[in-house]
């Protein structure tokens, strides 16, 4: 009794003065909700992060340009278009795919040009099983495969030895210019 759920949706860590969850939320777009449980006189809980994805415009086709790791082949191209995510505690699930020998590269195609404003990448971190996240993301776009232009890039921190987070499902959202291509 007396426990409150406090949350943020702007990427900042929640604290005891964050918004109070007191009724169902309407979530628009892809975003992360971070929440804690607080009670006066008690330490706050650890932060729980929930990632929500707006379906948006799914690509008509995905073509992998690099081969996945043989231990984690996923469903090959379909892994990126089936709309499914697997729990991070089961990396053998067919909805997880990993790249080690070559960096992940894929070409996503649409029947008609699309003005995409945001793209979200989900990945697993499972340090005990030597599964690490990406250190850089780059998104290219255009109407001709031979003339793609860089639309967005993001550097991500490397997983440091002894990091407190050893097993997690992570999501990175990248804003795009919304240029039809």
pTM of the model: 0.74
Average pLDDT over residues 151-178: 85
According to DSSP, the residues that pair with 154 across neighbouring strands are: 137
pLDDT, position 121: 86
pLDDT, position 149: 94
pLDDT, position 27: 87
Average pLDDT over residues 1-10: 94
Q: By C-alpha distance, which of 52, 55, 156, 147 is closest to 104?
A: 156
Whole-number Å distance between alpha carbons of 49 and 152: 24
Average pLDDT over residues 159-170: 78
Mean pLDDT estimate for the chain: 89
Q: How confident is the model at residue 14 (pLDDT cuts 50, 70, 90)?
A: very high
List, edge to edge, every strand of the sheet that includes 31-38: 19-20, 4-8, 31-38, 48-52
């Amino acid at each position: 009794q007396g426990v409150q759920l406090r949350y943020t949706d702007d990427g900042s860590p929640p604290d005891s003065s964050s918004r109070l969850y007191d009724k169902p939320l309407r979530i628009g777009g892809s975003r992360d909700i971070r929440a804690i449980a607080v009670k006066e006189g008690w330490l706050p809980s650890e932060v729980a992060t929930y990632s929500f994805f707006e379906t948006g415009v799914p690509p008509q086709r995905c073509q992998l340009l690099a081969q996945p790791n043989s231990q984690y082949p996923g469903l090959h191209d379909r892994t990126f278009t089936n709309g499914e995510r697997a729990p991070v505690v089961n990396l053998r699930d067919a909805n997880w795919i990993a790249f080690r020998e070559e960096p992940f590269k894929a070409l996503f195609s649409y029947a008609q040009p699309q003005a995409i404003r945001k793209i979200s990448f989900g990945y697993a971190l499972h340090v005990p099983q030597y599964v690490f996240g990406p250190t850089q993301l780059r998104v290219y776009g255009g109407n001709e495969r031979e003339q793609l232009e860089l639309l967005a890039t993001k550097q991500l921190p490397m997983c440091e030895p002894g990091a407190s987070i050893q097993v997690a499902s992570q999501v990175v959202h990248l804003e795009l210019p919304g240029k039809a291509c």
